[in-house]
């Protein structure tokens, strides 16, 4: 037990974001295997989840306004590692399709316009969460979970349109373009959720949960939005349905 704990502490000292999540999962796996060795139970459950989400942006600048949410989708494969009877750690990966709408005042062909943008973002997320479960009653359990997520942008696009004064004779078409050069590569977030699971068989459970994924890092690189540098936070609420194996 002492050797495994020393090895786990050594692994956790790495600082690279992707390595930290992977190594933390290894740590939890080893600890769980040690705790459950006498019971000869499986060290973890495999989880597959998928579901819709509603995502939006929050701005800290009066120059840029949030202009409503968009509907997205996410799916993932996770490991649920028991630590005690009613506690477990969850990690793995998720793929999120999210984004949001913003608008701000700008110029187009020397004319004052209202610029509207819709961002569509695809992220690979590595969550690390603590799950707290109730006792099982008639095969039914409820749980809450909280943790952190580190996401890496896979790709992004922006659809930009322009609104002109009613008296203007100028007209501009909307345009869609890749926005990887405008958006940050890494997104950090706090994850909070509630859910329930039902045991169908010894090695099979179905579950549903509702998670709030609250970003706290700027998703925009430094840009010129009406000569300001706003901070945009990406948030989303997701409904998950899935299976434990």
Residue-level pLDDT at 37: 45
Instruction: State the CB neighbour count (10 A cutoff) for residue 84.
Output: 11
Residue-level pLDDT at 69: 95
Residue-level pLDDT at 33: 46
Residue range 121-178, pLDDT digits in tens: 999 999 999 999 999 899 999 999 999 999 999 999 999 988 876 666 666 778 899 9
Q: Which stretches in the chain have pLDDT values below 50?
A: 1-19, 29, 32-33, 35-40
User: Model pTM?
Assistant: 0.79
On the CB side of 236, CA atoms within 13 Å amount to 28
What one-character DSSP code corresponds to residue 42?
Answer: -
Residue-level pLDDT at 20: 53
If you search the block for the tokens 């477990």, which residue do you land on? 88
- Going from N- to C-terminal start, the domains of the chain cover 1-42, 44-244
Residue-level pLDDT at 26: 53
* Distances, alpha carbon 204 to alpha carbons 44, 146, 198, 199, in Å: 13, 23, 9, 6
Residue-level pLDDT at 164: 78
Residue-level pLDDT at 9: 43
Residue-level pLDDT at 207: 96
CATH class of 44-244: mainly beta
């Amino acid at each position: 037990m002492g050797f495994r704990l020393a090895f786990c502490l050594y692994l956790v000292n790495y600082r690279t974001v992707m390595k930290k999540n992977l190594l933390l999962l290894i740590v939890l796996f080893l600890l769980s295997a040690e705790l459950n060795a006498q019971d000869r139970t499986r060290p973890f459950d495999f989880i597959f989840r998928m579901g819709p989400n509603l995502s939006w942006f929050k701005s800290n600048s009066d120059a840029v306004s949030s202009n409503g949410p968009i509907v997205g989708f996410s799916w993932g494969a996770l490991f649920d590692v028991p630590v005690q009877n009613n506690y477990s750690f969850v990690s793995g990966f998720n793929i999120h399709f999210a984004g949001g709408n913003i608008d701000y005042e700008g110029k187009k062909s020397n004319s004052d316009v209202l610029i509207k943008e819709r961002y569509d973002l695809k992220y690979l997320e590595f969550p690390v969460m603590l799950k707290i479960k109730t006792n099982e009653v008639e095969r039914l359990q409820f749980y809450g979970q909280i943790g952190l997520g580190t996401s890496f942008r896979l790709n992004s696009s922006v659809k930009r349109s322009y609104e002109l004064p009613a008296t203007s004779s100028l007209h501009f078409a909307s345009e869609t373009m890749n926005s990887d050069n405008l958006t940050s590569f890494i997104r950090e977030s706090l994850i909070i959720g509630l859910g329930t699971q039902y045991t169908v068989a010894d090695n099979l459970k179905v579950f549903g949960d509702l998670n709030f994924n609250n970003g706290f890092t700027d998703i925009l690189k430094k840009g010129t939005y009406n000569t300001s540098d706003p901070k945009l936070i990406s948030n989303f609420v997701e409904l998950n349905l899935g299976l434990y194996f």
